[in-house]
Structure 1
Amino acid sequence: MDGKKLEYKGEEALKELQKLTSEADKVQYELLKAILTRNNKTEYLQKHMKGFSMNDVSVFKQKVPVITYKDIYPYIQRIANGEDSSLISGHPITEMLCSSGTSGGEPKLMPSIAEDLDRRTFVYNLIMPIMNQYVTGLDEGKAMFLYFVKAEMSTPCGLPARTVLTSYYKSKHFKTRTRDLYNDQTSPDEAILCDDSNQSMYCQLLAGLIHRQQVMRLGAVFASALLRAISFLERNWLSLCTDIRTGQLNRMITDSGCRSAMSAMLKLADPSLADEIENICSRRSWKGIVCDLWPKAKYIEAVVTGSMSQYIPALEYYSRGKLPLVCTMYASSECYFGVNLKPLCDPEDVAFTLLPNMGYYEFIPLGENETYGNDDEEISTDTLVKLVDVKLGCYYELVVTTFSGLNRYRIGDVLQVTGYHNRTPQFRFICRRNVILSIDNDKTNEEDLHKSIMAAKRLLEPYNALLVEYTSYADTSSVPGHYVIYWEIKHCTPSVLDKVTSPFGPKVLEDCCIAMEEDLDYIYRRCRTHDKCIGPLEIRVVKPGTFDSLMDLFIKQGASINQYKTPRCIKSEAALKLLNSNMKACFFSPRDPTWNP
């Protein structure tokens, strides 16, 4: 596909979106045919389609199996070691994209070709035209987005190995982005491209504070990254104010690009601005701090779907509930998929319109209670459904075929069809398929765990306490095994929370334990109450800042700050050791949950 066909901007981009979604079936058919034409001489497709017409879509659907990462990994490894890209792709593999690796296991390497950047840029170019339909005046100020890169690695043959966002931020597409699409951004590129996350965070927050009266929108890729920035600001606002007051950049900033860019931005001392910021940040309560520091901001942009939805209360606390939480797009390392055409909708109503020109989509039908799936189960190709044939309200696992060499690859995301835009379905993201807790016959997926957490955390609200982060662990070190849930609680009134988590006041947290169990599914409750193969659920309350330390641990092990998502199920011994070493108190469910045979 000619990359020039993807260079749409502004109103032209919206017109192209209308055309694509009106002809979804045709676009999908032509795209798959183009992929097969491009890649028909690859070793992978020859293996499955040899002897048949290599451009025949029906042959592809009959002969090429549905795969997971372990099936394609040997080919990726061979290319990483120096063999030709033609193993899987008709165009040269230019880089390997590292998945975050924190949702479903170890980081994965995904093949990428040069024109994939054109596809990603096409999606980015849609965002502002869509937003401008709903929010006026965005071109009158700046955008404060906190973007981060991760230090690159190389494969044995020298291919860059980096995250998809690092790839984009270091590309010419990002460097040549235009004002009409992105607004002027507060962060200089030098700060974004600094691979020391602390220096990058410091400089980007400093830039955002300097331009506080011009910021029209703010955010980060994931909600968790924005909350981490607020936590960083709580610890460093005095230093940031000193920089603004004196016009001198803190000595901790040693990166030459950051020093040059930020020194130029500081220019002159501004004591009055420093006083304004200090007066706001020195308040006892930081409720509404985002609105106070950036009073002209019209919305917060971040991913708040799936596991990120648990950050919504914290974001609403810091914005006093005044700023819409906008989730603009749906993407992964494998492929950029779609956009949210109603960006001001409530977070629970976010639905993404899959763009038919990004990749070829197929769907594995799932029952409502089968969203956890299994990597090892063989999927019959006869059961797959194409994009325009999905059914409203039904659940599916997404399968994608790309130009870069993924053929019928299971993404691992569970989606629900919520509606249509023209002839193109819209989907709600439900969960990652493999993030589950399991002790015996129970299988608790990410969404069910999240729902049970939300049911329990409401019991904290009368105590002015806020659940800011959680993860879980299936503890099978004793018999029977049991679920362990780690909670970090923000103390809006420290003395009250101390009472809640003290040995003298365990009832509230014990009630939270049983509330979670009552909200888990039938199988779990049967295993707990009747079969007695699962022990009482345990909540371990950890010290403030523990989940920041957990993130630091994963970043040190190779995760990207930009793509980091707190694992909802912990398997790492080092991570468990960190969590347990920061435990303040533990509480167990005081009784069996109700269960009716």
Structure 2
Amino acid sequence: MSKFLYIVVIKAGGIVKNKFDKYTKNPRKVNEEILLKIINLNVSTEIGKKYNFKNIKSIEDFKKNFPLTDYSFYEDYIKRMGEGEKNILISKNIKYFGHTSGTTGKQKLIPVTKESRKIASKYMAFYSNRVCYESFKENWTYGRGVLISDIVNTNYTKSGIPICSATSGGMNGIKYIIPFLFTSPLEVMKITDKEAALYLHLLFALEESSLMYISGVFISNILDFFRVLEEKYQLLVRDIRKGRVNNKINIDEKTRTALNKLLSPNVSRAEKLEEEFNKGFKGIAKRIWPRLLYIETVTGANFSIYDDKVNYYTASLPIYSPSYASTEAMIGINPYINKIRYVIILDTAFYEFIPIEKGEVNANKTLNIDELEIGKKYEIVITNNAGLYRYRIGDVIKVVGYYNNCPEVEFMYRKNQVLNMVSEKTNEEHLTDAIRGTMKKLNINLIDYTTEPDNSITPGRYIFYFEFKDKISKNQIKVPRVIINNKNIRKVITSNCQNNDM
């Protein structure tokens, strides 16, 4: 069954890829057609009547009739939709509300329809698998992979519409084929305790000696996966040897019973794993999963600080970053295994681009898909299939090339996710470059970091909190003014907030 599904997915991926290649030869035409389709579908909605959708016949008409928006424009509309009102922003029914991460402010609820999810899913489910197959087909085994994800609903609206992450919503759509493609049972995907879920993802992945790939939403999830492996390997080996989930894992008895039915004692596998773990964890992935071909996860930009740490465990297996997506839209797909760049997907949304000039946003005029220049940075504006019109998602991208006639972009940073105490606008890109350089110079093994502003002194400053994997002595640190506490967390204070270097 698994091989049959893979064959279907790969063939479907070829169809999607061929259509995608055709679209990218005439991006302006395709993207305008998508816009007019969205407008025509929603002529009779409340928003369509208010902004005269019936008279919009071109991109220019749309820009004249509809203002640039942000989330505040939609809050009242979305509240009413959550209470069950229909035909407000879109004519279609809401499948669920995707909640954003809240990294640049309070959490937002983004409408998702069956149609909008389906359009995005064909790229994640089909196109990306086709890219992987074409890149690794000489060693392709049609084996299962481990997918570090969940299908957990956070809540429901007053009218009973689910609220969940975009990832959970997407996983719900394929829940019936999960056992054939992925090692983790459906029960594991439903566990809300993240630590318990990660342990169980590992347990069932370790049972599969022919594992073909490891997939997670972000590369930080992949790193957590291997760190839990290193920390809990003795417990995992014991569970595999005995064929049951130990009582230390925080799950309900119904879930434990269901999972135990899927396990059986596997002494030979436990002994093989124990032998490899005792040799150390450098390059462990290929030693315990000899048929492992690649890691599939979003990396690049601020996530790239985790790449070297993952490479330690995987002996530098290829890391494929498949897509550039947000809760609001599936924006880009990556046709390359060995590069992190995304081709704008023309049929998931209509795009406009606000130029970033000398670090400043110039929103007087938005550019269309065929008006961008290589090397320039732009803020993305989308009109999607689920009720957002001329919506500024806050992402800044850089055009780095072209795929046929369609822009290839790199994600740079979130526009509002900056350190900005004295208008210096230190963004994610600045932070990532500085931290990576510092860690490399001092040869320090970083786990994670965060930062906060400190206005208690003049001039103001930023305080950076670093957590390191290994215990280090004070004389190893060359950065001035370092405070080390007993929990192995380093608190590093920069000289002042007007200097972007650390």
Normalising by structure 1, report the TM-score.
0.76
Pick from 402, 426, 432 the counterpart of residue 444 of structure 1: 426
| Partner in structure 2 of residue 109 of structure 1 | 109
Preserved CA contact (<8 Å) 1:460 1:466: no
Residue of structure 2 equivalent to 1:230: 226
Equivalent residues in 2 for 1:176-191, closer than 5 Å: 176=177, 184-191=181-188
Aligned to 1:546: none
1:428-451 deviation digits (Å, cap 9, x = unpaired): 111111111122132101101111
2:146 matched to 1:144? yes
Match of 1:469 among 443, 448, 457: 448
Separation in 1 of the partners of 2:350 and 2:116? Answer: 14
CA distance in 1, matches of 2:257, 2:494: 56
| Structure 1 runs not aligned, ≥5 long | 1-5, 511-537, 544-581
Aligned ranges 1:123-522 → 2 under 5 Å = 123-124=123-124, 125-136=126-137, 137-171=139-173, 173-176=174-177, 184-211=181-208, 213-252=209-248, 254-255=251-252, 258-260=255-257, 262-267=259-264, 269-283=265-279, 285-321=280-316, 323-345=317-339, 350-367=340-357, 369-370=359-360, 379-380=363-364, 383-461=365-443, 465-491=444-470, 494=471, 497=472, 499=473, 502=474, 505=475, 508-510=478-480
What SS does structure 1 have at the residue aligned with 2:90?
A: coil
Q: Which residue is 2:47 aligned to?
A: 44
Letter of the 2:351 counterpart: Y
Displaced runs of 4 or more, over 3 A: 54-57, 176-179, 252-262, 538-543, 582-595
Q: What secondary structure sits across from 1:413 in the alignment?
A: strand
| SS of residue matched to 2:359 | coil
Tell me if structure 2 keeps the 8 A contact 1:489–1:541. no
The number of residues matched between the two structures is 489
Structure 2: which amino acid aligns with 1:320? A
Say if 1:215 and 1:297, in contact at 8 Å, map to a contact too.
yes
Matched, 1:12 2:15: yes
State the match for 2:4 in structure 1: none
Q: Say if 1:37 and 1:55, in contact at 8 Å, map to a contact too.
A: no
- Offset, 1:367: 2.0
Report the identity percentage: 27
Q: How many Å separate the matches in 1 of 2:432 and 2:314?
A: 23
Tell me, yes or no, if structure 1 residue 69 matches structure 2 residue 71. Answer: yes
Q: Give deviations 1:4-46, integer Å, cap 9, x for gaps.
A: xx99813222212222222322211111111110112222233
SS at match of 1:414: strand
The verdict on how the C-alpha distance between 1:539 and 1:312 changes in structure 2, with shifts beyond 3 A counting, is farther
Amino acid at match of 1:43: E
Q: Distance in 2 between matches of 1:315 and 1:293?
A: 15
Contact 1:13-1:129 within 8 A present in 2 as well:
no
CA RMSD of aligned residues (A): 2.7
Whole-angstrom CA distance in 2 between matches of 1:590 and 1:386:
43
Q: CA deviation at 1:540?
A: 5.8
Change in Cα spacing, 1:279 to 1:8, as seen in structure 2 (3 Å) is closer
Q: Is the alpha carbon distance of 1:317 and 1:388 closer, same or farther for their aligned partners in structure 2, counting shifts above 3 Å?
A: same
Displacement after TM superposition at 1:390 (Å): 1.1
Task: Flag the 1:122–1:257 CA change in 2: closer, same or farther, 3 A.
Answer: farther
Q: Is the 8 A contact 2:294 2:318 kept in 1?
A: yes
The amino acid across from 1:107 in the alignment is: Q
Post-superposition shift, 1:114? 1.7
Distance (Å, rounded) in 2 between the aligned partners of 1:100 and 1:436: 16
TM-score of the superposed pair, with normalisation by structure 2 = 0.90
Distance 1:279-1:541 versus aligned 2 partners, 3 A rule: farther
Structure 2's unaligned 5+ residue stretches are 1-8
> Where does residue 27 of structure 1 map in the other structure?
30
* SS of equivalent residue, structure 1 residue 356: coil
Aligned residue in 2 for 1:529: none
Tell me which amino acid in the other structure corresponds to 2:20: L
